[in-house]
Amino acid sequence: MADASAVGKEYPPFQWEVERGKIRELVQAIGDKNPVYVDRVAAVKAGYQDTPASPTYITCPMMWTNILFTFVKDMKIDFAKVLHGEETYEYFQEIYPGDTLTGKMKIVGMEQKSGKAGNMDIVRLEIMYSNQKNEPVLKATTMVVERK
Amino acid sequence: MEKEIRFDDLNVGSEMSTLVKAPVDHMQLVKYSGASGDFNPLHTDPAVGKAVGIGQIAHGMLIMGFVGQAITDWVPKKFLKKLSVRFAGMTRPGDVVTVTGKVREKVAEGGLKKIVCDVQARNQKEEVLVSGFFEAVLP
C-alpha cells in the first residue's frame, strides 16, 4: 500500500563493478551493433577513453544487485502486480569497464490513483550512481505501478 | 569515422534515422534476461504468460534498449544527456519494432547547444510500445 511517509527514504549504498563482458552481453541481447560499445579501438577513435556503457546498461546493476527487490520487499509490494511505467536516465559522465559504481537509492514519490483500470499505487525511485572518483555519472529514475 | 551530427544541421521537426529491428524472438528474450538480470518468467516462459492471461511479453527495458540503439546510431552516446521513456504497450515474440524520432526543440544557451527530441517505438500494427524524449548536447 502506498505509504506517503516513505517518500525520502534512503537505502544503504550498493556497489557494482563495470565489466567489459557485461556491456557486450547487453548490447548483443539488444542487437545493437554499434562498435563503440564493444571495440576499444573504435571507441577511442570516436573520442571515448574505452568502450562506454550503452544507454540502458544501468539496468544491469539494478537487477543483478537485487536492489529493486530490496525495495519491493521493504514496501510490501506484490511484485506480481507491478508494472514498469517509466524510466529516465540522466547522463553526467561515461561509464567504462573497470569503474566501480556506488548506487544510492531513495524513494522520491508515492501516490495513490484511481483510474478506469482500478486503483493503483504509483511509486518513484531514484538511484544516483557515482564512480570510484566519487564523481556523479548517472541518475536513474524508475516509476512502477502496483495495480490493486 | 562518419561525420558527426552538428547542431546547425538540424531544425525543429528534423527526423532522426529510423531503426527497424529484426522481429523479437524467444531467444532474444532469453538472452536479454541473462544479460540484464531480469528473470521475470513472464518474458521467457510462454506457459507463465498464458497462466497470467496476457501471454509472453518482452521486457520493457529491451524496447528501451532499442530506443537507445536508435538514438546512438544517430547521435553519439557521448552527446546524450537524458533519455526518458514511458512504457505504453506490450511487445510480443514476432513483433517488428520500429523506432522513430524528431527534434522538438533546439536550445542554445550558455554556450551549450542542446536538442530535445521526441522518440517512439511502435510495432507492425503502429501501436505505440514506448514513447518518450531525449536530450543531447551537440557540437
Give pLDDT tens digits for A22-71.
Answer: 999 999 999 999 999 999 999 999 999 999 999 999 999 999 998 988 88
Contact of A62 with A127, CB cutoff 8 Å: yes
Q: Give the integer Cα–Cα distance in Å for B62 and B95.
A: 13
Q: Mean of the per-residue pLDDT values for chain B? A: 95
- Nearby residues of B47 by Cβ (< 8 Å), 6 or more positions away: none
Complex-level ipTM: 0.96
Does the residue B40 lie in any domain?
no
The type of residue at A50 is D
What is the distance between the alpha carbons of residues B90 and B128, in angstroms, rounded to a whole number? 9
Residue B36: inside a domain = no
Distance from the Cα of B104 to chain A's closest Cα (Å) equals 18
Query: Within 10 Å of residue B98's Cβ, how many Cβ atoms?
Result: 17
Any domain includes B109: yes
Q: What is the pTM of this model?
A: 0.96
Domain assignment present for B129: yes
Measured from the Cβ of residue A116, the count of other Cβ atoms closer than 10 Å reads: 4
What are the residues of chain B with a beta carbon less than 8 Å away from any beta carbon of chain A?
1, 21-22, 28, 31-32, 34-38, 60-62, 64-69, 71-73, 76-78, 80-87
We find that the CATH architecture of domain A4-147 is Roll (3.10)
Residue range of the domain that includes B133: 7-24+60-137
Contacts of A29 in chain B (CB under 8 A): 28, 31-32, 34-36, 62, 65
Q: Give contacts of A91 with chain B, Cβ < 8 Å.
A: 80-83
The single residue listed with the C-alpha cell 537507445 is B68
pLDDT of residue B1 exceeding 50: no
Q: Is residue B16 part of a domain?
A: yes
Q: Place A1 in a pLDDT band, splitting at 50, 70 and 90.
A: low
Question: What pLDDT digit, counting tens, does each position of A98-110 carry?
Answer: 999 999 999 999 9
Say if A49 is an interface residue toward chain B (CB within 8 Å). no
Q: Is residue B2 part of a domain?
A: no
Number of domains present in the structure of chain B? 1
Residue spans of the domains in chain A: they are 4-147
* Residues facing residue B137 across a β-bridge: B114
> What phi, psi does A114 have (nearest 5°)?
-115, 130
Q: At what angle do helices B60-74 and B26-36 cross, to 10 degrees?
A: 90
Summarize the confidence of residues A81-95 as an average pLDDT.
Answer: 95
Whichever domain contains B110, its CATH number is 3.10.129.10
**Per-residue model confidence as pLDDT tens digits over B43-67:** 999 999 888 888 999 999 999 999 9
Q: With respect to residue B47, please indicate whether it lies within any of the assigned structural domains.
A: no
Which residue from A7, A108, A63, A38 is spatially nearest to B60, judged by alpha carbons?
A: A63
> Has residue B50 been placed in a domain?
no
